[in-house]
Amino acid sequence: MTPFVYTGLPTRVVFGSGTMAQLGAELDRLGCRRALLLAGRRHRAAAEAAADGRVGGVFEDAAMHTPVEVTERALSMLRAIGADCTIAVGGGSAVGLGKAIALRTDLPQIAVPTTYAGSEMTPILGQTENGRKTTQRGAKILPETVIYDVDLTLSLPPALSVTSGINAMAHAVEALYAQARNPVTSLMAEEGIRALGRALPRIVADPADVGARSDALYGAWLCGICLGAVGMALHHKLCHVLGGSFGLPHAETHSAILPHVLAYNAPAAPDAAARIAAALGKTDAAHGLYDLAVGLGAPCALKDLGMPESGIDEVALLSMKESYWNPRPFDEEAIRKLVGRVWAGLPPDRLEG
C-alpha cells in the first residue's frame, strides 16, 4: 500500500427527501437566530417557512463565478440586518456566495444545494475580480451544515442536470489522479462517477424519476467530498481561466473540457483512467465521458458557449500562471492544442508529444 494522508472534513450532512423541513432544527443546533438567506425566488418561500421566522433578509443577486462586488453588496445587507449566519439555497452561485461571506466573517453557513455541483462539500472558494478568477482554501470556507433535499432537484431542467452532474464528475476524476489522492477518496470518487453515470441518462428520460434524482445527488455529494479532500489539477485550472476571463457558464464549461483533459492525463495516470472507465461501464474513460455528454445533449464546443477563437492563446498563457499540479506536465503549446479541440467541439485526443 502506498503511504497516504487522509483528513476527514467536519461538515454535517442531512440527506433525504423533504429534508428542507429540518432547516429550523439545524439553525438551532448552530445557535443561530437571524439569517441572511441567499436564494432566488423559486426557493425563497420554502426556505423562509422552514427557517421558522429566523430569516432577517433575502439576497437574490448571487452570480456565477462569485464576483467580489456582489459579495460586498451581500455583506452590506448582512451587516444591516445583524445576521449571525447565512443560508444558501440554490446552485453553485448561491453556495459560492455563502462561502465568500463566511471567508470574510467566519459566520456559520448552511448550504442547501439544488444542483449537482458538489462545491458545498469543499473548503474551496473561487471568486472573480477584474476579469480573473482565483481560488482560496481554508476552514472558514467550508459550510457547517449541508442539507440535501432530493425534492428540490426535481425541478432542475434535464439539460442543466446533465452539465451540473458532469461538473460534479470532474471533481472525482481529478481526485483519482490528484497529488494527494488516497484510498478513501478514490473509493468515493469511483462510486460518485458510477452513481452519476447511471443517474443522468435516467433523468433525461424522466426528470421526475425520484430514484435517479437521489442517485445523482448522492453522487454529487461524494464527488464534492473528493474535491475538498485532495484538491485540483489541470481541468479546474482551465475552467477557472475560461470562467474568469470569458464569463463562460460554469457547469457547461466543465462538461466540455473534462473528456479532453482526461485524455491528456490518461497516459500518466493509467490506473485512474481504468477506474473511471470501469465506473462508466466503458473501455475508454475519456471517450466514455465524451460519449455520455454528447448522448445527453451537453454542449461540447467552447465556441457554442461564447468563447472567441482568438481567446485560445490567452487561455494557454494564463493557464501557465500559478499553474496547478498535474500528473502529466504541460506547457502553452499543449494547452493551446487541447483548448483548440474543445473550442471546435472535436472528440478528445491524447495529444501525444
Domain boundary among 93, 118, 153: 153
The domain that contains 280 carries what CATH number? 1.20.1090.10
pTM for this prediction: 0.93
The parent domain of residue 191 ranges over: 159-344
- Give the model confidence (pLDDT) of 240-251 as tens digits: 899 888 989 989
- Which pLDDT tens digit goes with each residue over 252-273? 999 999 999 999 999 999 999 9
Total number of domains in the chain: 2
Residue 350 has pLDDT above 70, yes or no: no
Confidence of residue 351 (pLDDT cuts 50, 70, 90): low
Do 110 and 169 belong together in one domain?
no
Residue 265 CA to residue 174 CA, distance in Å, equals 10
Same domain, 220 and 239: yes
Establish if 59 belongs to a structural domain. Answer: yes
Q: Are residues 172 and 58 in the same domain?
A: no
pLDDT in tens, 26-57: 999 999 999 999 998 889 999 999 999 999 99
Q: How many residues are listed for the chain in this entry? A: 353
Give CA 200 to chain center in angstroms. 16
What's residue 4's pLDDT? 85
Chain position carrying cell 485512474: 272
Looking at 112-116, 206-210, 231-235, which range is the least confident one? 231-235
- Buried b / exposed e over 108-121, threshold 16 CB at 10 Å, is bbbbbbbbbbbbbb
Q: What pLDDT does residue 349 have?
A: 83
Return the pLDDT at 209.
Answer: 98
Note the pLDDT tens digit of each residue in 196-218.
999 999 999 999 999 999 999 99
Whether residues 330 and 213 fall in one domain: yes
Tell me which residue has cell 467580489.
68
Helix 250-265 to helix 234-246 angle (10° resolution) is 150
Give the largest Cα separation in the chain, rounded: 61
For the cut 90, the answer to whether the pLDDT of residue 131 exceeds it is: no
pLDDT at 294 exceeding the cut of 70: yes
Mean residue pLDDT across the chain: 94
Q: Are residues 276 and 318 in the same domain?
A: yes
Radius of gyration of the chain (CA): 19
Give residue 243's pLDDT. 87
Please report whether residue 350 resides in a domain. no
Q: How far apart are CA 93 and CA 150, in angstroms?
A: 19
What are the strands, taking DSSP E only, across the chain? 12-16, 35-39, 55-59, 85-90, 109-113, 124-129, 132-137, 145-149
Task: Output the domain CATH number for residue 99.
Answer: 3.40.50.1970
* Interatomic CA distance for residues 334 and 352, integer angstroms: 9
Q: Is residue 330 predicted with pLDDT exceeding 70?
A: yes
Nearest-10 Cα torsion for 211, 276, 291, 170:
80
